Structure 1
Amino acid sequence: MTGYARLRRSSPDGEVVLSIKAVNHRGLDIHFHLPPDFDPYEHSIRAVVRRLVSRGHLEIRASYKRNADDAEAQLNLPMLDAYVAAWRLSAERHGITAEPDLSGALRLPGMLSPGTDRDPEASMEKFLCELTEDTVKELNIFREREGHDTLAVLLDRNAHIRAAVARVGDIRSRAMPAFQARMRERLADILSGAQLDPQRIVQEAAILADRSDIGEEIARLGIHTGELEKLLNAAGEVGKKLDFLLQEMNRETNTMLSKTNGIGEQGLTITETALGIKADIEKIREQSLNLE
Structure 2
Amino acid sequence: MGILSGMTGFARVTGEESWGSWAWEAKSVNGRSLDVRVNYPPGCEALERDVKAMAGERFNRGSLQVSLRVDMAAGAGGVTIDHALLGALAEAARKAAGFEPTPEAIATLMTFKGVVETSGATLRDLAANEAAMAALSAGARLALDQLGEGRRAEGASLMGLLSGHLDQIEALAGEAARLAATQPGLIKAKLQKQLEELDQEGRVDAERFAAEAALSAARADVREELDRLGAHVKSGRDLLNAGSPAGRKLDFLAQELNREANTLCSKSASLDLTNAGLSLKGVIDQFKEQSANVE
> Would the TM-score normalized by the shorter structure come out above 0.5?
yes
Whichever residue aligns with residue 9 of structure 1, its letter is: G
Contact map agreement 1:48 1:129 (CA 8 A) in 2? no
Whichever residue aligns with residue 50 of structure 1, its letter is: G
Deviation at 1:182, TM superposition (A): 3.1
The alignment's TM-score, normalised by the length of structure 2, stands at 0.72
Deviation at 1:184, TM superposition (A): 5.0
Corresponding residue of 1:85? none
Residue 261 of structure 2 is aligned with which of 244, 250, 253?
Answer: 253
Deviation at 1:130, TM superposition (A): 0.6
Residue 282 of structure 2 is aligned with which of 274, 279, 284?
Answer: 279
Q: Distance in 2 between matches of 1:167 and 1:283?
A: 19
Whichever residue aligns with residue 65 of structure 1, its letter is: D
Whichever residue aligns with residue 140 of structure 1, its letter is: G
Contact map agreement 1:44 1:125 (CA 8 A) in 2? no
Contact map agreement 1:45 1:128 (CA 8 A) in 2? no
Q: Distance in 1 between matches of 2:101 and 2:266?
A: 105
Deviation at 1:193, TM superposition (A): 6.0
Corresponding residue of 1:92? none
- Unpaired segments of 5 or more residues in structure 1? 76-95, 108-112, 262-266
Deviation at 1:146, TM superposition (A): 0.4
Corresponding residue of 1:134? 142
Corresponding residue of 2:30? 24
Q: Distance in 1 between matches of 2:141 and 2:259?
A: 44
Larger relative CO (CA 8 A, sep 6+): 1 or 2? 2
Whichever residue aligns with residue 274 of structure 1, its letter is: G
Corresponding residue of 1:215? 223
Structure 1 counterpart SS, 2:12: strand
Q: Distance in 2 between matches of 1:54 and 1:269?
A: 43
Contact map agreement 1:20 1:58 (CA 8 A) in 2? yes
Report the aligned-residue RMSD. Answer: 3.5
Structure 2 counterparts to residues 178-189 of structure 1, below 5 A? 178-182=186-190, 184=192
- 1:26-48 deviation line (CA, Å, top 9, x unaligned): 11111222222434532233222
1:57 matches 2:63: yes
The alignment's TM-score, normalised by the length of structure 1, stands at 0.73
Q: Distance in 1 between matches of 2:127 and 2:289?
A: 50
Contact map agreement 2:184 2:217 (CA 8 A) in 1? no
- 1:43-95 deviation line (CA, Å, top 9, x unaligned): 233222222222210111221111123144x78xxxxxxxxxxxxxxxxxxxx
Deviation at 1:230, TM superposition (A): 1.6
Change in CA separation of 1:169 and 1:193 when aligned onto 2, cut-off 3 Å: same
Residue 173 of structure 1 is aligned with which of 174, 181, 184?
Answer: 181
Change in CA separation of 1:174 and 1:205 when aligned onto 2, cut-off 3 Å: closer
Whichever residue aligns with residue 47 of structure 2, its letter is: Y
Residue 288 of structure 1 is aligned with which of 268, 283, 291?
Answer: 291
Structure 2 counterpart SS, 1:36: coil
Structure 1 counterpart SS, 2:68: strand
Corresponding residue of 1:145? 153
Corresponding residue of 1:270? 273
- 1:227-269 deviation line (CA, Å, top 9, x unaligned): 22122212342334323322222111111111224xxxxx222
Deviation at 1:283, TM superposition (A): 1.3
Structure 2 counterpart SS, 1:258: helix
Count, aligned residues: 254
Q: Percent identity?
A: 29
Deviation at 1:157, TM superposition (A): 0.6
Contact map agreement 1:5 1:19 (CA 8 A) in 2? yes
Contact map agreement 2:60 2:245 (CA 8 A) in 1? no
Whichever residue aligns with residue 62 of structure 2, its letter is: G
Corresponding residue of 1:123? 131
Q: Distance in 2 between matches of 1:99 and 1:225?
A: 86
Query: 267-276 or 38-47: which moved more?
Result: 38-47
Structure 2 counterpart SS, 1:213: coil
Whichever residue aligns with residue 47 of structure 1, its letter is: A
Corresponding residue of 2:86? none
Change in CA separation of 1:207 and 1:178 when aligned onto 2, cut-off 3 Å: closer
Q: Distance in 2 between matches of 1:229 and 1:185?
A: 45
Structure 2 counterpart SS, 1:31: strand
Contact map agreement 1:48 1:133 (CA 8 A) in 2? yes
Q: Distance in 2 between matches of 1:235 and 1:123?
A: 38
